Amino acid sequence: MTKRAPDMTVQDYIYKVDSTWYFRLTIPKQVRNFIQDSLKAGDDISHIIPEQLQKKYSSKEIKLSLETKDYSAAKKLRDRHLATYNSFFEALLGLISPNETIEAARNILD
């Protein structure tokens, strides 16, 4: 009996197309809005977000192939991608709105 991989849930961040696993993560709204507003205003934000990433991060989601058919391997790759993107977005949010980041940290500590 073959074990069928579960369908994607919000917590999984992975989904299967044909036999290949993919990673999907929603980009924080603050990041999207910052990029879109900056581009509309003609502001140069390349010192914060490199130009080649601005279009990618102004969309709603990041989607990429994990290039594996194995569910266990896909979960490990998902964890690596989540850690990388979460760290990146946390740092980016600190640059975009440091006061909100400080306030969020205070709420966590309280």
- Give the tokens for residue 108: 């966590």
Pairing of strands 20-26, 61-65: antiparallel
Q: Is the pTM value of this prediction over 0.75?
A: no
What is the rounded distance in angstroms from the CA atom of residue 29 to the CA atom of residue 12?
20
Residue 74 buriedness (CB in 10 A; 0-12 / 13-18 / 19+): buried
| Each residue's pLDDT tens digit, 62-110 | 999 999 999 999 999 999 999 999 888 888 888 887 665 555 555 655 5
What pLDDT shows up at residue 10? 44
What is the rounded distance in angstroms from the CA atom of residue 88 to the CA atom of residue 76?
19
- Give the tokens for residue 76: 């490990």
Share of the chain above pLDDT 70, in %: 78
